[in-house]
Structures are given as C-alpha cells and as structure tokens.
Amino acid sequence: MNFSGSTIVFAEIIVYILLMLLVGIYFSRKKLDHADYFLGGNKLPGWALAFSERATGESAYMFLGAVGFIYVAGLSGVWILSGMFIGILFSWLVLAKRFMKETKKYNVYTLTDYIAVKFPNHSNVIRWLSSLIMVIFFTCYLAAQFSGVGKTLYSFSGLNITVGTVIIALIIIAYSCMGGFMSVVWTDTIQSFLMLIAFIIVPIAGFAEIQQNDLSVSAALSSMGNGADSWLGGLTGLALGAMLFTNLSWFFGWLGGQPQLSSRFMALRDEKELRTGQWVAIIWTLIVYIGAFLSAIFASTIYKQGTIDDAEMILPHMVFDLLPPWVAGIIIAGILAAIMSTASSQLLVITTSVSEDVIHKAMGKTIKSTTLVKLSRFVVIISGIVGIIVSLASGSIIYSMVSFAWAGVGNTFSAIILLIFFWKKTSGTGVVATIITGFLSAILWSISPLEVIVSAKAATFFICLIVGIVVSLLYPEQKPKRVKLVS
C-alpha cells in the first residue's frame, strides 16, 4: 500500500479510536454506582446487549485465528464454526432466560457471585478459587487480544508490534476504566456493526477477484493437499472422529461458563428484550460466520499456501490487496473492533473478580458504592498493564492462547452452570472440586501428548462434568446451619 493509502487507513482508525474514547468519557462523567459499573443497572436494551455479546464473543480469534486456520485447513475448517454456532444457539435460546431470572432472584452482579450464593456453606471458597482462575486465564485471553492488535497494525503499516500493542492496549484500558459495563456495551455495539460490515465486504471482494482472474476454488483446494478439498478433511475412522470432536468442542465453551458473555444475559431487563436479543444475535452470527468461512476459502484460492508468512494475517493481507484504502480502513477498524470489544470485556471480568467477588464479598469489606467503582477502575489499570506484559512475552500465538483460556474458564464453568441449572443434587463441595479439576486439567491436558488426540477444550468439560456429579453424590449439599440468637 502506498503512502497515500496508508494515510487514509490511519486517519479512519484514529477517528474510530477517538469515538471509542468519547464514549468512555461520556459515561465517566455520569454518576455510576457499582450496579451500573458492573452490569449496566438493567438500563440497556436487548439489541444492544446482543450486539455486545456477539462482538465480545468474536474476538481476534475470529478475524485472525479462525480465518487463518480455515485458510490452511480448507473445507473441514467449517466444523469449528459449526461447533461455535450450535453453542451460541443453545446459550441464547436456552440459558439466557435462566440467567436473567436468576440474576434478579439473587441480586448478583457476577457469574462467580451467583455460584457462590447458591452454595452459602462454600461461598468464600468458591469466590476465592473462581476469581483466582478467572484472573489467571483471562490475563492470557486478554494478552491474546493485545497481540492481535499489534499484529493487525503491523500488517498494513509496518509499525513495530510492541509499539502498536501498547498504544491500543492503553486506549482499551482508558475507556474500560472510565465507563465500566455501560461504556463497554455501547462501544461494543458500534464495533459489532463494523465487524458485520467487514464480513460482508471481504468475501464479496474475494469472489470478484476469483471471477475476474478465472480462478477455480475446487482446483485450488485440491492442489493444497491434506484433504483441504474435503468437508471431512480426507479423514476416516478414529482420525475423523477425533477431528470432528476437537473442532466441535468449541461448543462446550458457550454453555454459560464465559463470564464476559453470561454477564450480557444477566443484564437483560425482561422477556421482550430477551426475544429481541435472540433474533439479533442469531442473525448477526449467521452473517459473520458465513462471511468468515467464505473469506478464508476464497483466500486459499487467491493466495497459495506459503505466500503469507503468518497464516493468521491472511485476512488483513487480503483486505489491503483487494480493496481501496478507504474501504480497507473500515475493515481494519472492524478487526480492531473485534479485538477491543473482547479485551474490554475481559478487563471487566478480571476487575469484578477482584473488586466485587474478592475484596467486597469474600473479604467482607464494607465499601461505599462510589468507592467500589473507584477501586474497580484502579484494578482495570493494573490488570491491563499485566495483560500488556504477558502479551509481549507470549510470542503472539492467538489461536493457542484463546484455546487455552477457553478450556480453563469456559469449559470449567460451563460444566458448573449446567449442573446448577439442570441438576438439583449439585453440591457446594462438587462445585469446588469441579473448579479445582478444571484448573488443573486445562493446564496438564494442554501440555500432554493427549492434546493431539483430543483437545483440552473438550476433555476439560467432560472431566469437570464427571467430577461435579461424582463429588456431589458423595458429598451432598447440607442446609446452612442456623445460628441461635442469645437473648
């Protein structure tokens, strides 16, 4: 891209970033209590929460990691998107209503707090363990988003990855710190529209390029080898089963265990807003997923394997190669939008885990609502700085880091939520055992030879589910002891 084109792209990105900061400043000037800061105070419409949940759920992983994976794998990459889509359907059509009702019933603001109040005999242990796990894994998840920022800026400008990562990360920290949940949801809504536009324009541009140069998609996929032209990856028997199971295993992380997503369900006001959110979320996901898949397949037709040094950067490369600079700027803003929306939500998860679940609830500190907001803003800053450090030290492997965090948090807490919602015999001891098991199995399985056979994303979910059931049966829930009042 020439100097003039780069200038246009930079100008559009700067306008977009300033807009995000203005939203944060707007909400920072409002008088927010902790209910507003953590969960929006039931003031947000269902369509905005749906856009926010979708933008948060589809991070750098969708634009860079998933598209890059399908670009290399070929048609069989569709199973990753299929697993995720089924999980999204289940979460919005089955779990969202339950989350909304349970939040109002127990007057909670976080996923951890909800689990804790369900089991008062183990509430503090649950809060401490859950918060520890969320802080550890979400720092990795946050670092993956920051890495995506640096790689995206480098792809079109040559800007040093470290410099780009730090600059955008600081902006994310700033607007998340200022407005909390309110600013995150409204910035997400803007970002969600940009993501939608990106995955409509890019596949159309790719198809036009293929038609103009008389290229053949089927021939290109066939020449890639390794079963790229087969929906089943050219596999049979156990190998096919393992591939399908591993790719579809992304489904398990959408079953209520991702706190940055379930918080959107918890913030829903009523069933009317829920129905609106369901339609928006499902239609948005269909458009984006189909667009992402077609973008990757068209890219594998236009660019031979090995043309791009880093497969995760195929989408930005495609954007700058096929689109005029002013359109490319919008698309790159969309990629940054995906990253920034997820990163800001993950910052809030870490923040609420520390300030609300640990300091306020587990430690029993009596804090004024306005003071709790100030404390939360401080935690956002510290968490963001740690995320930047981990990102710069991680080697920027987005797919691996997201997959690791998905197993450690998403699958562990999905098992717990499903047990709480649908099995009355779930006990506090069973929940504690499940949390510990999920933490250990995600780490140990990921570094073991078994990871090649079955992904930790699937293994962790089933291990946690089994442990939760067995331990709950062995150690059933006891009713809280009543303390006698001395007259």
Q: What is the pLDDT of residues 309-356, one digit of tens each?
A: 778 788 888 888 888 888 888 887 777 776 776 777 777 777 777 777
User: Residue 161's pLDDT is what?
Assistant: 75
Between 34 and 479, the higher pLDDT residue: 479
Q: Which of 287, 266, 324 is nearest to 38 (CA)?
A: 266
Q: What is the pLDDT of residues 305-319, one digit of tens each?
A: 878 877 878 888 888
- Using the predicted structure, report yes or no on whether residue 94 has a pLDDT greater than 90: yes
SS3 track for 382-398: HHHHHHHHHHHHHCCCH
The arithmetic mean of pLDDT across residues 121-142, rounded, is 84
Q: Which of 286, 262, 285, 282 is nearest to 97 (CA)?
A: 262
User: Residue 239's pLDDT is what?
Assistant: 84
- Give the Cα separation of 1 and 39 in Å (integer): 43
User: Residue 332's pLDDT is what?
Assistant: 79
Question: Could you give the count of Cα atoms lying within 13 Å of 29 in the half-sphere of its Cβ?
Answer: 5
Residue 485: pLDDT band (50, 70, 90) is: very low
Neighbours of 79 (CB within 10 A): 22
| Least confident window among 21-25, 113-117, 231-235, 238-242 | 21-25
- Using the predicted structure, report yes or no on whether residue 236 has a pLDDT greater than 80: yes
SS3 track for 127-160: HHHHHHHHHHHHHHHHHHHHHHHHHHHHHHHCCC
Residue 34 CB partners (closer than 8 Å, separation 6+): 109, 356, 369, 372, 373, 376
Q: What is the pLDDT of residues 291-302, one digit of tens each?
A: 999 999 999 999
Residue 5: pLDDT band (50, 70, 90) is: low
User: Residue 155's pLDDT is what?
Assistant: 66
Per-residue tokens: 278: 């369901």
pLDDT above 90: percentage of residues in the chain? 27
User: Residue 249's pLDDT is what?
Assistant: 78
Which domains are delineated in the chain? 3-398 (1.20.1730.10)
The arithmetic mean of pLDDT across residues 363-369, rounded, is 69
- The DSSP letter of residue 308 is S
CB-count exposure of residue 324 (10 Å: 0-12, 13-18, 19+): exposed
User: Residue 487's pLDDT is what?
Assistant: 40
- Cα angle for residues 213, 207, 212 (degrees, 5° grid): 20
Q: What is the pLDDT of residues 27-56, one digit of tens each?
A: 666 665 555 555 655 678 899 999 988 888
Residue 241: pLDDT band (50, 70, 90) is: confident
Q: Strand, coil or helix: what is 364?
A: coil
